[in-house]
Structure 1
């Protein structure tokens, strides 16, 4: 009588491996703020010790006091609102145009032949170097600032949309066609999920380029905005206000990137990537 082989039961380690890979990020998230806090403490200490002159770089406490003062009299909120409006409009125009043209060039051979060559030529030009030409075309008002933000956002979205679509495995599309899916269904179930990771990367790069472009645009004959507030403070040697403007720009960029990363995590919950150990 032969013994029936008994299958070894799964060990506890095998059962908990998925949970170990998806451990709560809250347990280690506090470590991410150690370095920024250390930089602020060293910065404050160097300022109080006289190593950093206040006319060159104000202490964090002075910057915080300047922000409180400007927020109390409404100056900060007025300039911040104007900057946000310009950024939203410019990012919507540039990102929407980049998404549309990138999709056309990525999905259609004719679109690739007609759209991609001029875009590839134009992206070699530094868009911030186009300020003199834009001054001639659109003047020195709001269209200049919005145009710079739109140009900064256009190319990252276009390139990543185009690359994301072209990077999809052709065998997946053929398999979907063999299964009888229509063109619209193939776009929804194959092309869109395959291109989403690259698209989110393009959006993150576009937001960064958009904020950078806004800094430059608001320093060209502006009468409001964070860039204008910084330039006005420079005229009066208010270093604390200049640093405050830079920190607000950085905070806006960080918050927008965090929002995109959160949206990416929810939209791409099906994707399992490599986790840091």
Structure 2
């Protein structure tokens, strides 16, 4: 009898410890960044690095607070987020549609894949002069660059996910008489979803990279413009602030993607609640 009590209580005890373990793990993931910032602050205050080269984190934070109070930081941040979001939706939709078509259809693969891969092989910056000729330096050029950067990660991972579907499941679906819409809904999309979401996470990083380049074009709004304008006046604290903002937004976007992973892939053993 005591043995039975132990076996039933132990899992409950482990479940109670789980939140504490998660908090410990979270603290450990931030230990190194916090240590770097602390050393940076001490080095700046001790005169080991000059403010012109690397201002202290406290100075960067104060600059961010000043820009936030004036409303300038919010204006630039909203502009950048809007560009990144619209470009991501456009590029992600195109990449997903192409990935599904090529992943399912041999004919689509024959007609489209080689052309897509050739475009993907072109260096991103090499297209910049042509994009300016096509769209000028307006919002269209910026959205095009962001969308172009997003298309390929989503396309490749979606196509890969489609091709990794177990053929036995497809055969079973045909034997049981499932229609094509049901096969797509119940087998193809769930089976490809882990790979698709991996492409989404990678595309989020690519979107911010493209946005930095896009906002170097003639513009008066955006975090990239804020950095370029600070460079002209040698405002190192503002430049570092923009880098920190890009980092924070990138981490936040990746965390949001992980939330979608846990919700959409709750059935998958590798994406259970608490998956890092």
Q: TM-score, normalised by structure 1?
A: 0.91
Deviation at 1:154, TM superposition (A): 0.6
Moved more, 173-182 or 202-211: 173-182
Secondary structure in 1 matching 2:121: coil
Structure 1 window deviating more from structure 2 (153-162 vs 138-147): it is: 138-147
**Residues 128 and 148 in structure 1, CA contact (< 8 A), matched pair in contact too:** no
* Residue aligning to 2:214: 217
The SS at the match of 2:218 is: coil
Shift of 1:199: 0.5
Partner of 2:179: 182
Distance 2:123 2:153 in 1: 13
Q: Give the C-alpha shift of residue 113 in structure 1.
A: 1.1
Alignment length, in residue pairs? 268
Partner of 2:98: 101
Task: Identify which of 23, 26, 49 aligns with 1:52.
Answer: 49
| Runs of 5+ consecutive residues of structure 1 not aligned to the other structure | 1-7
Which residue in 1 is equivalent to 2:270? 273
The CA deviation string for residues 93-121 of structure 1, in whole angstroms up to 9 with x for no partner, is 11110011111111112111111110111
Cα drift, residue 15 of structure 1: 7.3
Q: For residues 48 and 60 of structure 1, what CA distance do their matches in structure 2 show?
A: 10
Alignment of 1:83-232 (within 5 A): 83-232=80-229
Q: Which runs of 4+ in 1 moved over 3 A?
A: 8-11, 13-17
2:63 corresponds to 1:66: yes
Alignment of 1:35 onto 2:26? no
29-38 or 87-96, larger mean C-alpha shift: 29-38
Per-residue CA distance 1:160-195 (angstroms, 9 max, x = gap): 000000111111111111112111111111101110
- When residues 13 and 120 of structure 1 are mapped into structure 2, their CA distance, relative to the original with a 3 A threshold, is farther
Larger radius of gyration: 1
Alignment counterpart, residue 249 of structure 1, candidates 224, 246, 249: 246
Gaps of 5+ in 2: none
Q: 1:10 to 1:195 in 2, by over 3 A?
A: farther
- Following the alignment from structure 1 to structure 2, what is the Cα–Cα distance between the partners of residues 61 and 256? 25
* Residue from 224, 235, 251 that aligns with 2:232: 235
Query: Whole-Å Cα distance in 1 between the matches of residues 127 and 213 of structure 2?
Result: 12
**Aligned equivalents of 2:265, 2:244: Cα separation in 1:** 31
- Residues 11 and 271 from structure 1, CA distance in 2 versus in 1: closer, same or farther, beyond 3 angstroms? farther
Structure in which a larger fraction of residues adopt helix? 2
Q: Please provide the CA RMSD for this pair.
A: 2.3
Q: Deviations over 1:229-272 (max 9, x none)?
A: 11111111110001001110111111000000011011111111
